[in-house]
Amino acid sequence: MLNLFKSKKKKFRAQCELSKTPLEKESAYMVTTAQIISSKKFWDNVMTEPDTMTYTTAYFKSGDEVAANMRQMIFNKYGAQDKPWIVADSQMHLFDVDQGKAKSLADEWFDKEGQYAPEESKTSLANLGENAVEELRVYAVKEAGRKMVQL
């Protein structure tokens, strides 16, 4: 007998946490917070995007305090919470990680419909160490994007 009232299971949908673009399993990778904040390429990219370039320019040209605070807030957006990040293959050039492992972790995350977080993704900042996190914060806030600003 046909059941007309049976609800269909919704297809699992995901998006890249960096670009906000929709993701399919084939193009998804998983990285940790430590891997994200450890990437100078990532910080140079983020701090020179159209919506952040104004702060970067103001910071390097005049030492603007509001711009410095905004750059700190941007660092906090990415570095404050230890978690797995699902990112698109188009973002992977920013990170020096084992892409095979990042892909297999994302595949498992997709198979479990986003309900998977490997233990290493929950403790990556602690494994990096406070001194390293502080050095990366200093780079992100005080150096990232400098080469793109005409002084």
Q: DSSP string spanning 20-61? A: --EE-GGGEEEEEHHHHHT-HHHHHHHTTSHHHHHHHHHHHH
pLDDT score, position 10: 78
pTM of the full predicted structure?
A: 0.89
Instruction: Give tens-digit pLDDT for 66-119.
Output: 999 999 999 999 999 999 999 999 999 999 999 999 999 999 999 999 999 999
Domains of the chain, by residue range, sit at 14-148
Which whole number is the average pLDDT over 9-33?
Answer: 93
pLDDT score, position 27: 97
